[in-house]
Structure 1
Amino acid sequence: MNPADRCGGEAGLAILYRGPLASCNYDCPYCPFAKRRDPPELLAEDRAALARFTGWVAASTDVRLSVLFTPWGEGLTRRWYRDAMVSLSHLPHVERVVIQTNLAARVDWLADADPARAALWTTYHPGQVTRERFLARCARLAELGVRFSVGVVGLPEHLDEARALRAALPPEVYLWVNAAEGRSYDAAEEATWTALDPLFGNSVRPHLSLDRPCHAGETAISVLGDGTVRRCHFVPEPIGNLYDGSWRTALRPRTCVNAVCDCHIGYVHLKPLGLRDVFAGGLLERIPAAWPNG
């Protein structure tokens, strides 16, 4: 039996989709894709690739699916991502459809989505948007009944804004903190950020992953715009293609081939960490099951 068929709920088959899009309207100094502009031909390629993918999802009614869009750039400024979120949220075999976003675009379009299935993984970037404007978008999401998490990068210059954001957000909204890439945190710094995000410890240091069992390649896969299927974003070796069906026979229990895993969308699937249980019911949108009470 196919692992994607035997598993229940959001663990049926989680797909992390990343098309050619790499443009963003923000210029965060810690991001290599800041203020990048995609030429019209690449945008057309991205739009066509997403249409093909959503068509495949709609037709694949024999598998329970969850989808997380992880674009290099900002997807929700492009209508085709908004349309995809809405259409996929109404498919009965799609458990959840989520996108990572800076929340720069208006969110009223989500009124057309199924709030039980559509969700957002949002990131606040101080210096790129005012806190008031970001919070107004969060308030609108709450009015629409759309689940969402909010995150920040754990840089010292972001600490005051992160504290103010946590104080302004409703307690039921989970605020996560990503350790800044290449930065080491001493015990005091780690405690400071952990006061905002009780799960910061999972992000603050890389997880040893070599030869450790992982859901990636078994009940979670990464898909590129051309349909190339990988076990995850961080292992480049293809294991099949979405559109010729070869991915189905490739799914099996696997161990990680990388020495460490330091990104949430990767290590959340490492079986020894047990984080799928921690985020049960909110795995792709990064919301802990016990939040806000545990």
Structure 2
Amino acid sequence: MDLTLLYRGPLASCDYDCPYCPFAKRRDTPGQLRADRAALDRFSGWAARQQDDRLSVLFTPWGEGLVRSWYRRAIVELSHQPHIDRVAIQTNLSCRTDWLAAADPDTVALWCTYHPGQTPYDRFLAKTRELTSLGVRFSVGVVGLPEHLDDARRLRADLPAHVYLWVNAAEGHTYTDTEAAPWQALDPLFAYSRHPHPSAGLPCRTGASVLSVDGDGTVRRCHFVRTELGNLYDGSYRASLAPRPCPLAVCDCHIGYVHLESLPLYDVFAGGVLERIPAGLPAPAGVPGDDGGRSTVGQRI
């Protein structure tokens, strides 16, 4: 069986205080951190033992995971498992990068977000250059707030051409065509992030080949549908695996709508769905939504 697992444990603390994030500068207690570590160790141990399945894993913590040693260790260990095709994580890249030298570069990948005002620009850029020198796959992105535009342009100019710079539509922000144009110039796929995608009743890979897992092992079809499908550790989730339509009116997060079968994003991101790396960038005019016809959406992390 081929399964993609989006794991989100109880970790909710972050070392940044971005004004657009509800988890800014939140601190987990020592007990909460121990619980998160135990939950992650249990999940990574389970994943390592599933040698009859092909697995891909994306860690999507509410907080920043890579400043915690147990996330770094889990990623390195899982990257060397022959039945795991990809292990990736969303990160602000505030951690050191040398630990990635121990990971399998053919399996590990990072989804990095640059937050202007939270870290010096040169420091963040230096981290991306370290990733390049280590041969690690990664994408880089920013939240599309007006005050971030100059930083995003600078980042696009300084990143290697092969590194995809994505732009997330800011939460609750509506873009006119004029406002969207400079973001579209930076990210040819920004049109997917401008508006929520209608999803009610449409086929989606979540619940069949893509699953959300929490720290207790509870399995749901995705992070945004709370209906439980069973538990990972007792195997009860397997009886619930089946194609099913989306029960929500819209999907406005990249880690959700990328799996909608009504969108071509598995082709757009072929080989890089979890780390948000497209197989090739289309011209802006070729992206749905530019002609005002189809609705599009964006991930808001």
TM score, norm. by length of structure 2: 0.93
Deviation, 1:129, is 0.7
Identity %: 68
Are 2:268 and 1:278 aligned? yes
Which residue in the other structure is 1:235 paired with?
225
2:204·2:259 contact (CA, 8 Å) conserved in 1? yes
Q: Amino acid of the residue matched to residue 45 of structure 1?
A: A
Which residue in the other structure is 1:27 paired with?
17
Name the CA distance, whole Å, in 2 between partners of 1:259 and 1:192: 29
Name the CA distance, whole Å, in 2 between partners of 1:292 and 1:118: 25
Which residue in the other structure is 1:137 paired with?
127
1:174·1:292 contact (CA, 8 Å) conserved in 2? no
Deviation, 1:130, is 1.2
Q: Amino acid of the residue matched to residue 187 of structure 1?
A: D
Which residue in the other structure is 1:168 paired with?
158
Name the CA distance, whole Å, in 2 between partners of 1:231 and 1:43: 26
2:188·2:283 contact (CA, 8 Å) conserved in 1? no
Are 2:256 and 1:266 aligned? yes
Q: Amino acid of the residue matched to residue 119 of structure 2?
A: V
Are 2:118 and 1:128 aligned? yes
Q: Amino acid of the residue matched to residue 94 of structure 2?
A: A
Q: Amino acid of the residue matched to residue 216 of structure 1?
A: T
Unaligned runs of 5+ in 2: 285-301
Deviation, 1:19, is 0.3
Which residue in the other structure is 2:197 paired with?
207
Deviation, 1:292, is 8.6
Which residue in the other structure is 1:157 paired with?
147
Question: Structure 1, residues 25-78: CA drift from partner, whole Å, max 9, x if none?
Answer: 000000000000000000000000000001100111111000000000000000
Name the CA distance, whole Å, in 1 between partners of 2:110 and 2:209: 21
Over the aligned positions, Cα root-mean-square deviation in angstroms equals 1.1
Are 2:187 and 1:197 aligned? yes
Q: Secondary structure at the match of 2:47?
A: helix
Q: Secondary structure at the match of 1:25?
A: coil
Q: Secondary structure at the match of 2:186?
A: coil
Q: Secondary structure at the match of 1:105?
A: coil
Kindly tell me the number of residue pairs found equivalent between the two proteins.
284
Q: Secondary structure at the match of 1:176?
A: strand
Which residue in the other structure is 1:68 paired with?
58
2:23·2:62 contact (CA, 8 Å) conserved in 1? yes
Which residue in the other structure is 2:45 paired with?
55
Q: Amino acid of the residue matched to residue 71 of structure 1?
A: P
Which residue in the other structure is 2:107 paired with?
117
Are 2:40 and 1:40 aligned? no
Name the CA distance, whole Å, in 2 between partners of 1:40 and 1:24: 14
Name the CA distance, whole Å, in 1 between partners of 2:90 and 2:83: 21
Q: Amino acid of the residue matched to residue 188 of structure 2?
A: P
Q: Amino acid of the residue matched to residue 186 of structure 1?
A: T
Deviation, 1:181, is 0.4
TM score, norm. by length of structure 1: 0.95
Name the CA distance, whole Å, in 1 between partners of 2:280 and 2:208: 26
Question: Structure 1, residues 132-151: CA drift from partner, whole Å, max 9, x if none?
Answer: 10010000000000000000
2:144·2:183 contact (CA, 8 Å) conserved in 1? yes
Runs of 4+ in 1 over 2 A off after TM superposition: 291-294
